[in-house]
Amino acid sequence: MDSVPRYRISICRGPDCRRNGAERVLAAAREATQVQGLEAKCLVARGGCYGLCHLGPNVVVREERDRPRDMFMQEDFQLMGWPDEVHYGEMTPEKIARVIAEHVGLDAPVESLRGARED
């Protein structure tokens, strides 16, 4: 079994996040995974609205685990509260490149970029 964590990076595609630059963040995430040679270690996906519009663009990073999969990928549309789930708010192309380098590349979430806690 491969012990290297694999990550799923979901970038919100809701209207507020798009208006605040989510498409640029998505493009930067895809470019960063290529440039940093991390394509095999993570999947960049378009997520749905997480309901945190005021913090957008929103990005959620989770380790790929053996979990039951919902055919609608529920985790791409809401925060699940999983221990390995990290929400990053107010993302920019520069910030997502750092998240790719550190969270994915070094397996270390970027604490200073975590989104505000929303309970």
State pLDDT tens for residues 84-109: 889 999 999 999 999 999 999 999 99
pLDDT of residue 5 exceeding 70, the answer is yes
Question: pTM, whole model, 2 decimals?
Answer: 0.85
pLDDT of residue 119 exceeding 50, the answer is no
Residue 119 lies in a domain: no
The alpha helices in 12-90, defined as continuous H runs, are 15-19, 22-35
Q: What is the CATH number of the domain that holds 80?
A: 3.40.30.10
Tell which residue, 70, 20, 13, 17, has the closest CA to residue 47: 13
| Number of separate domains in the chain | 1
Mean pLDDT of 41-59: 90
Residue 87 lies in a domain: yes
CA torsion angle 81 95 42 64 (round to 10): -10
Boundaries of domain holding 101 = 7-113
Residue 118 lies in a domain: no
Q: How many whole angstroms separate alpha carbon 75 and alpha carbon 8? A: 10
More confident residue, 9 or 69: 9
Tell which residue, 42, 17, 12, has the closest CA to residue 30: 42
Residue 76 lies in a domain: yes
